[in-house]
């Protein structure tokens, strides 16, 4: 029987609770959002004592379901002021699930300011211990020391110095299978919430843990088989397929070609240096330089897509893992930088300081627009990242994200929604993703509803990228995503296969039915996804958000984006129809 672990940082206590009936059939984002809605006052300060940070495993996480090692981290976001869920691969999700813990809730705030703690969880229980030896250190220094202290087989959920300093772009870092600090629940500043609770790292040791109970093994196995087949057949997800060979950066040339690759702080839709930072170039460089370089790397055990990579320096030693699409775009094209060695260095700094690569790149783009550096100036971009790491006054401005930086320096072209930096798809050139950015409960977030699949890739049918009537598409994608991927515990990248395969889609639902002993259909789970989105929206409304917040920044309405010379011309009525059909 799985449990909820509640950690109170005011009185430094831990206790295990039975899972209430209302949460029994939930997982991942569905569960973090339900707990946030039930226990966090919507108007509380995100960094104050009344916010909580919740870690929840996906419904099938910890089983042998393929590509399902996700962990969701949720609470009220210091970046957006909205409800937030960010999820990550790596080692933590499966270990937390196999410890029999459905959700771990951290609440309260230490009485002693500036004091940090480690939370160790194993089969015997949970204990807090001082983290004095690790405070003020980057994660490339902290993680090896923690593995030395607690053994190589643990998982770590940790924050870097940005989280300790309560910066709004701080993420929660998870180690990958080789124990690098490289995977992130990055978006929305949940690392700062963890920092505000005085937790430097959570150590998970699942040795001899109870594992994940499967109510109906036959149903689970049948579902698993269908999903594995769908993943192994689809051109994008199969072994030797696009993601496996080139990683997510396979999208660089594709999105650049359709004129939607945001360049130099969203002033152009095409980047002349795109090919130099593409998945194809990552693949060639790994082969050419050899050494530790590899594509087809897995971020967590049991992934059969394996979209990750280890990028080598010229001498074949490791520069960083992982150079993925969003990161090479944000720290590359968006800053006018066309070198993978530079994006690799910047990603490594993000991993070390514990910040979201998307928010970092969007913020540096805004800083470049403000004149703090010239677009394309790699040296300056690296210096700006160090400002964040050192926690200088400028670093604190930058570390609080693109919207704060734009306000401080008077930059009008500020590509954010609800205070969160936009990801790597230009909404003026791909309207559906713009509708998602505008209306998502999480601020600008492509993972809320990945409409790029039909709008660009032709997955689940082809939709015209310029068509402005996308309210139904956006609603459907948001509802389906909330349960099928974000709550089930599967990585979003299974979407390419299951959107094109009804059998694969059924497989995901059957896996969940197998674990929970339910008898749901695909329609049922999409309906449940809509309830998750509605609940999150109610939280945001109670926090003071209205439909006026469901808009893209004004400059996108009047500034024409090359090469198609388009504005964001989706009428407000269409945006409002996402929630009021
Ligand atoms: S597809 Fe990529 S991001 Fe998703 S679980 Fe596998 S390696 Fe990780």
Q: What is the pLDDT of residues 134-191, one digit of tens each?
A: 999 999 999 999 999 999 999 999 999 999 999 999 999 999 999 999 999 999 999 9
Ligand 1 atom nearest to CA at 494: 1
Average pLDDT, the chain: 98
Q: How many residues in the chain?
A: 581
94 lines ligand 1 (CB under 6 A): no
Per-residue confidence band for 113, with pLDDT thresholds at 50, 70 and 90: confident
State which of 299, 447, 450, 489 you would mutate to test the pocket of ligand 1, scoring each by most atoms of that ligand within 8 A of its C-beta: 299
Q: How far apart are CA 196 and CA 200, in angstroms?
A: 10
Average pLDDT over residues 37-53: 98
The residue ranges of DSSP E strands in 110-196, in sequence order, are 117-122, 125-130, 155-158, 172-175, 181-185
State which of 68, 93, 308, 325 you would mutate to test the pocket of ligand 1, scoring each by most atoms of that ligand within 8 A of its C-beta: 308
Predicted local confidence at residue 516, as pLDDT? 98
Digit-coded pLDDT (tens) for 56-84: 999 999 999 999 999 999 999 999 999 99
From the CA of 298, how far away is ligand 1's center (Å)?
6
Contact assessment for residue 169 and residue 189, using Cβ atoms and an 8 Å cutoff: yes
Average pLDDT over residues 231-257: 98
163 lines ligand 1 (CB under 6 A): no
| Percent of the chain whose pLDDT exceeds 90 | 99
Contact assessment for residue 415 and residue 263, using Cβ atoms and an 8 Å cutoff: no
Predicted local confidence at residue 429, as pLDDT? 98
The answer, yes or no, to whether residue 535 has pLDDT greater than 80, is: yes
Query: Burial code of 534-570, b = ≥16 C-beta within 10 A, e = fewer?
Result: ebbbebbeebebeeebbbbbebbeeeebeebebebeb
202 lines ligand 1 (CB under 6 A): no
How many CB atoms sit inside 10 A of residue 480's CB? 22
From the CA of 227, how far away is ligand 1's center (Å)?
15
Average pLDDT over residues 368-394: 98
491 lines ligand 1 (CB under 6 A): yes
Predicted local confidence at residue 515, as pLDDT? 98
305 lines ligand 1 (CB under 6 A): yes
Digit-coded pLDDT (tens) for 14-40: 999 999 999 999 999 999 999 999 999
The answer, yes or no, to whether residue 403 has pLDDT greater than 80, is: yes
């Amino acid at each position: 029987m799985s449990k909820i672990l509640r950690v109170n940082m005011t009185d430094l206590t831990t206790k295990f609770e039975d899972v209430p009936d209302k949460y029994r059939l939930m997982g991942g984002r569905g569960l973090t959002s339900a707990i946030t809605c039930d226990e966090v006052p919507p108007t509380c300060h995100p960094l104050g004592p009344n916010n909580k940070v919740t870690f929840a495993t996906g419904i099938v996480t910890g089983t042998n379901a393929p590509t399902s090692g996700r962990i969701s981290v949720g609470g009220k976001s210091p970046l957006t002021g909205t409800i937030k869920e960010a999820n990550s691969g790596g080692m933590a999700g499966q270990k937390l699930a196999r410890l029999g813990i459905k959700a771990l809730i951290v609440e309260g705030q230490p009485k002693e300011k500036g004091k940090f703690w480690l939370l160790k969880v194993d089969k015997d229980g949970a204990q807090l211990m001082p983290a004095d030896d690790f405070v003020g250190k980057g994660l490339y220094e902290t993680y090896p020391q923690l593995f030395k202290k607690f053994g190589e087989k643990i998982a770590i959920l940790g924050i870097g110095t940005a989280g300790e300093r309560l910066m709004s772009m701080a993420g929660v870092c998870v180690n990958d299978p080789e124990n690098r600090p490289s995977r992130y629940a990055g978006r929305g500043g949940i690392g700062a919430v963890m920092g505000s609770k005085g937790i430097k790292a959570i150590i998970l040791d699942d040795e001899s843990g109870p594992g994940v109970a499967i109510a109906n093994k036959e149903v689970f196995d049948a579902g698993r088989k269908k999903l594995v087949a769908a993943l192994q057949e689809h051109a994008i997800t199969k072994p030797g397929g696009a993601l496996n060979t080139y990683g997510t950066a396979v999208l660089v040339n594709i999105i650049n070609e359709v004129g939607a690759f945001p360049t130099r702080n969203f002033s152009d839709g095409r980047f002349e240096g795109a090919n130099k930072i593409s998945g194809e170039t990552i693949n060639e460089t790994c082969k050419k330089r050899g050494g530790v370089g590899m594509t087809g790397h897995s971020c967590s055990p049991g992934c059969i897509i394996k979209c990750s990579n280890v990028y080598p320096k010229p001498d074949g030693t490791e520069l960083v893992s992982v150079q993925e699409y969003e990161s090479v775009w944000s720290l590359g094209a968006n800053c006018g930088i066309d070198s993978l060695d530079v994006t690799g260095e910047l990603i490594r700094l993000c991993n070390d300081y514990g910040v979201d690569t998307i928010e970092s790149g969007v913020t540096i783009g805004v800083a470049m627009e403000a004149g703090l550096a010239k677009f394309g100036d790699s040296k300056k971009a690296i210096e700006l990242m160090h400002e964040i790491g050192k926690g200088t006054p400028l670093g604190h401005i930058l570390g609080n994200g693109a919207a704060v930086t734009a306000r401080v320096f008077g930059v009008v072209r500020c590509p954010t929604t609800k205070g969160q930096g936009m990801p790597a798809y230009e909404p003026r050139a791909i309207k559906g993703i713009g509708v998602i950015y505008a209306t998502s409960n999480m601020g600008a977030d492509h993972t809320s509803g990945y409409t790029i699949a039909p709008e660009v890739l032709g997955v689940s049918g082809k939709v015209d990228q310029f068509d402005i009537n996308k309210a139904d598409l956006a609603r459907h994608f948001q509802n389906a995503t909330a349960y099928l991927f974000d709550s089930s515990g599967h990585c979003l990248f299974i979407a390419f296969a299951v959107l094109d395969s009804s059998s694969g889609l059924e497989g995901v639902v059957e896996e969940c039915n197998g674990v929970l002993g339910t008898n749901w259909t695909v329609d049922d789970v999409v309906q449940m996804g809509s309830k998750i989105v509605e609940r999150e929206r109610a939280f945001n409304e109670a926090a003071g958000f209205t439909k006026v917040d469901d808009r893209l920044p004004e400059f996108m309405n009047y500034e024409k984006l090359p090469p198609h010379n388009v504005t964001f011309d989706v009428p407000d009525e269409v945006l409002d129809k996402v929630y009021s059909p």
